[in-house]
Amino acid sequence: KQEVTQIPAALSVPEGENLVLNCSFTDSAIYNLQWFRQDPGKGLTSLLLIQSSQREQTSGRLNASLDKSSGRSTLYIAASQPGDSATYLCAVTDVSAAGNKLTFGGGTRVLVKP
């Protein structure tokens, strides 16, 4: 059974510092991995999707890497801003899954201090 872990559970950094968020998964037979952002009282917004054949994806200040063999993904956010404060979740789709069933990690709550 796939398990997704995100450490740390919470992170606080001063504005301008780079953010590094970690995600690990127990079963490397994944189809893809997604990173989401969740703001309080709001739904999830998909940030990046990395297919199993890819090593990384980039969007603006965001870069996500994937190492399937070691069961890890890292989300980098460059030059953090107070607006980046949110909870970040990673989720994987297993190859064995029926359809787009995502298994989520518990999230990392990020606070960027001005």
Partner 1 sequence: DTAVSQTPKYLVTQMGNDKSIKCEQNLGHDTMYWYKQDSKKFLKIMFSYNNKELIINETVPNRFSPKSPDKAHLNLHINSLELGDSAVYFCASSKKDRGLTNEKLFFGSGTQLSVL
Q: Where are the beta strands (DSSP E) in the chain?
A: 4-5, 10-14, 19-25, 30-38, 44-51, 56-59, 62-67, 72-77, 86-94, 102-104, 108-113
Q: How far is the CB of 16 from partner 1 (least distance, A)?
A: 27
- The 32-71 contact track toward partner 1, x by CB under 8 A, reads x-x-x----xxxxxx--x-x--------------------
Alpha carbon distance 72, 67 (integer Å): 5
User: Does residue 107 belong to the site contacting partner 1 (CB under 8 A)?
Assistant: yes
Q: How far is the CB of 44 from partner 1 (least distance, A)?
A: 4
User: Does residue 2 belong to the site contacting partner 1 (CB under 8 A)?
Assistant: no
